[in-house]
């Protein structure tokens, strides 16, 4: 049983394994255990059917509880979680997957991602081999990565013979990632944007404000629409009910090509998160 795209009002992105992922999801990084249940419930009430969590966020259990108590059928909600850096390696990955699934209270995951390459540990190839086993067993439907640069992707594909379905990377009007997105397109890897609003920083840009005024939309809606029109899967986070709803109300307007180009031109290469080539948190 896999996610049924026809049951969601959100457009889907088709992955290279033939599965589909809702193009707009709800991210829960930095949502405290205690706040996550309410935020995910509001998201589900609003119509989101795609939740993005991670083992390191400490809120998988509440994500799972919110989905269960909301009562949505398992095949109508798409759940992503991520393997933390300290668990990389074949056997440790299998154990970490079991633990994540148990915390989520699910018997199958839609998408499992290697959270960071941590190439210094040299374990991401073995980790992905464990992902392949989990996929072959039907315990996870799609497998992918996060924060992988081109060289990491090239090595993973060469050594495992499998192209990840998706790479979740930092991507916002401040960090447009043109080269990596082009590599993804060339290899059939879906691009998913984390910190899509630049963790709030992109919302005050004057160009975004001008386009918001032109379209009668909010800055967040303009940025989310820009992601969707670029072909990104996008997972904005908010704990504020009105913003959770605002960020979902992006399917009744379109940006012109000129507006998309003006936003893309804001690229300053500025990250809000760490550089994937250097990030080694959790390395033992
Ligand atoms: P976002 O770019 O989604 O920005 C979130 C911030 O913007 C919050 O402060 C939120 O405030 C605010 N905000 C949201 N909507 C609005 C709005 N409509 N108007 C004004 N302010 C708004 O940043 P995140 O870093 O949370 O990224 C999104 C998701 O990406 C994460 O939750 C996580 O799932 C994923 N992620 C993945 C990473 C990875 O390494 N793979 C790393 C980081 C994130 P408030 O909540 O107070 O409403």
Pocket of ligand 1 (CB under 6 A): 27-30, 52, 115, 146-147, 168, 194-200, 203, 220, 235-240, 243, 246-247, 273
C-alpha 86 – ligand 1 centre gap (Å): 24
Spatial contact of 43 and 244, defined as CB atoms under 8 Å apart: yes
- State CA 233 to chain mean position distance: 7
Please tell me the residue having the least CA distance from ligand 1 atom 35. Answer: 194
* pLDDT reported for residue 4: 80
Q: Which of 31, 237, 249, 271 to mutate to test the pocket of ligand 1 (most atoms within 8 A of CB)?
A: 237
Spatial contact of 168 and 117, defined as CB atoms under 8 Å apart: no
Stretch 50-61: mean pLDDT: 97
Q: Which of 190, 195, 196, 209 to mutate to test the pocket of ligand 1 (most atoms within 8 A of CB)?
A: 195
Whether residue 48 lies in the annotated active site: no
**What is the b/e burial string over 99-138, where b = at least 16 CB atoms within 10 angstroms of the residue's CB?**
ebbebbebebbbbbbbbbbbbebebbebbbebbebbbeee
Please give the number of the atom of ligand 1 that sits closest to the Cα of 238: 46
Phi, psi of 185 (to 5 degrees): -60, -45
Please tell me the residue having the least CA distance from ligand 1 atom 11. Answer: 238
| pLDDT averaged over every residue in the chain | 96
Please tell me the residue having the least CA distance from ligand 1 atom 14. Answer: 238
* pLDDT reported for residue 284: 58
C-alpha 219 – ligand 1 centre gap (Å): 14
Calculate what percentage of the chain has a pLDDT beyond 90.
94
Please give the number of the atom of ligand 1 that sits closest to the Cα of 29: 32
Prediction pTM value:
0.98
Catalytic annotation, pick one of 57, 78, 90, 112: 57
* pLDDT of 5 above 90: no
* pLDDT reported for residue 3: 85
Over residues 225-268, the pLDDT tens digits come to 999 999 999 999 999 999 999 999 999 999 999 999 999 999 99
Spatial contact of 7 and 49, defined as CB atoms under 8 Å apart: yes
Stretch 78-83: mean pLDDT: 98
* pLDDT reported for residue 283: 82
Sign, CA torsion 155/179/271/263: negative
Stretch 181-203: mean pLDDT: 97
C-alpha 30 – ligand 1 centre gap (Å): 8
Please tell me the residue having the least CA distance from ligand 1 atom 42. Answer: 194
């Amino acid at each position: 049983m896999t996610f049924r795209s026809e049951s969601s009002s959100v457009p889907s992105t088709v992955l290279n394994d033939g599965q589909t992922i809702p193009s707009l999801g709800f991210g829960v990084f930095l949502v405290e255990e205690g706040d996550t249940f309410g935020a995910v419930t509001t998201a589900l009430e609003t119509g989101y059917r795609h939740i993005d969590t991670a083992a390191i966020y400490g809120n998988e259990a509440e994500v799972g509880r919110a989905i269960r108590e909301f009562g949505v059928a398992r095949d109508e909600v798409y759940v992503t979680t991520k393997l933390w850096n300290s668990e990389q390696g074949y056997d440790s990955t299998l154990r970490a997957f079991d633990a994540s699934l148990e915390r989520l209270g699910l018997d199958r995951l839609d998408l499992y991602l290697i959270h960071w390459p941590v190439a210094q540990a040299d374990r991401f190839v073995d980790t992905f081999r464990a992902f392949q086993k989990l996929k072959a067993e039907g315990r996870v439907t799609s497998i992918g990565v996060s924060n992988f640069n081109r060289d990491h992707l090239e090595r993973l594909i060469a050594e495992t013979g499998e192209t990840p379905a998706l790479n979740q990377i930092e991507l916002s009007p401040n960090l447009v990632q043109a080269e990596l997105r082009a590599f993804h397109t060339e290899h059939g890897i879906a691009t998913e944007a984390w910190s899509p609003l630049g963790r709030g920083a992109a919302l005050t840009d004057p160009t975004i404000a001008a386009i918001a005024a032109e379209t009668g939309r909010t800055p967040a809606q303009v940025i989310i629409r820009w992601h969707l029109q670029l072909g990104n899967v996008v997972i904005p986070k908010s704990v504020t009910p009105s913003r959770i709803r605002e960020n979902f109300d992006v399917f009744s307007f379109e940006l012109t090509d000129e507006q998309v180009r003006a936003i893309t031109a804001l690229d300053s290469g500025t990250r809000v998160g760490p550089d994937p080539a250097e990030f080694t948190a959790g390395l033992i």
